Amino acid sequence: MKVNGIEIEDTFCEAFPMYFGRVLITAATKRWAFVAALEAKGLGTSSTMKPKAPGEAGIESELGPSETPDGRPGYILLIGEPTIEELNYYLIARIRKGVVPVPTTATFDAMPKDLIIDYIKVEGTPIQQFGDGYEELINIYGREMYKIPRMDGFYYVDTKFGITKGIGGGNFLILAESQAAALLAAEVAVNAIEKLPFVFVVGAHGGGPAASGTKVSGKNYKKAIATTNHLYCPCIRDKVPDTRIPPDVRCVYEVCIDGLTMDALKRAMTEGIRAATRIHGVKKITAANFGGKLGRIQFHLHELFK
């Protein structure tokens, strides 16, 4: 199958269930809301430094003042972890470290009600306890919130955050004739995805593509959680007999996508791939899978374009 003249390999990406929170950060100005969202999203690129580092996170969208409970500008952050226990810990940590310190911020649960399978409670966490007994439970903006004294005024935060079981590890690989072509195609794909709801590109600030595609465990380092996807590294093609890199390919980037629903993820993959295929120098689109070792959820690339 070809899209815009570029071959789409007949394969699938292997994804897996992941737990997510959807958090709205508002502030007096758009700038401070963005600063908080960016900080809270930090170190959100992959889940392979467990157990003492956070999992994945990304900015989903920007909201104008008329779209938020407190009438201020805001950003929606998606936070994902492999287990509910980890999400419990790191959703709180991301808010505590990334939002609470930032001037004028507030934090709201933004998970759509029909997706909620459980809640993370703020009670008893370092966020609530930050108040040291001076915090209050109040009703405001049509919801129950903590009102916690901070040096610049009260910090408002929802008492619980809805969580859902979504999908991690959605991905496709862009194989191109040069680093420049792969990079431009990846950026174009990210631009196409970043306007879509309920998904984010798992990558650095702004949702960059991943240079460091991984495979589960290692061929040589068998105790490693994840190692370089050597089959897709053009720079060592000569050393890898079963390389999947065609002769005219010099660079590969992976666009990793997490999402709250199957539909959202499918749409993101479809629009991302379509956008990437428009860039001259792209040779092939494929996806990473590991024979079912990584995840039960499969997105077949050809089905996306039917």
| Binders of a copy of itself in range 112-141 (CB under 8 A) | 126, 129-134
Site membership for a copy of itself, residue 96 (CB under 8 A): yes
What backbone torsions phi and psi does residue 90 show, to the nearest 5 degrees?
-80, -25
Site membership for a copy of itself, residue 302 (CB under 8 A): no
Rounded distance between C-alpha atoms, residue 55 and residue 95, angstroms: 14
What angle separates helix 262-276 from helix 179-193, to the nearest 10 degrees?
Answer: 140
Residues near 222 by beta carbon (within 8 Å), at least 6 away in sequence = none
Site membership for a copy of itself, residue 5 (CB under 8 A): no
Rounded distance between C-alpha atoms, residue 232 and residue 236, angstroms: 9
Site membership for a copy of itself, residue 206 (CB under 8 A): yes
Interface region with a copy of itself, contact rule CB under 8 A, candidates 5-13, 106-114, 164-172, 251-259 = 251-259
Number of residues in contact with a copy of itself, rule: CB under 8 A? 115
Interface region with a copy of itself, contact rule CB under 8 A, candidates 90-98, 109-117, 156-164, 294-302 = 90-98
Are 93 and 100 spatial neighbours (Cβ–Cβ below 8 Å)? no
Rg of the chain taking only CA atoms, in angstroms: 20
By CB under 8 A, the residues from 28 to 87 that bind a copy of itself are 28-32, 34-36, 38-46, 48-49, 51-54, 64-66, 71-73
Reduced to 3 states (helix: H, G, I; strand: E, B; else coil), residue 30 is helix
Rounded distance between C-alpha atoms, residue 291 and residue 128, angstroms: 44
Site membership for a copy of itself, residue 292 (CB under 8 A): no
- Smallest distance from the beta carbon of 116 to a copy of itself, in angstroms? 25
By CB under 8 A, the residues from 207 to 246 that bind a copy of itself are 208-215, 218-221, 224-230, 232-236, 239-240
By CB under 8 A, the residues from 252 to 271 that bind a copy of itself are 252-254, 271
What angle separates helix 30-41 from helix 84-98, to the nearest 10 degrees?
Answer: 140
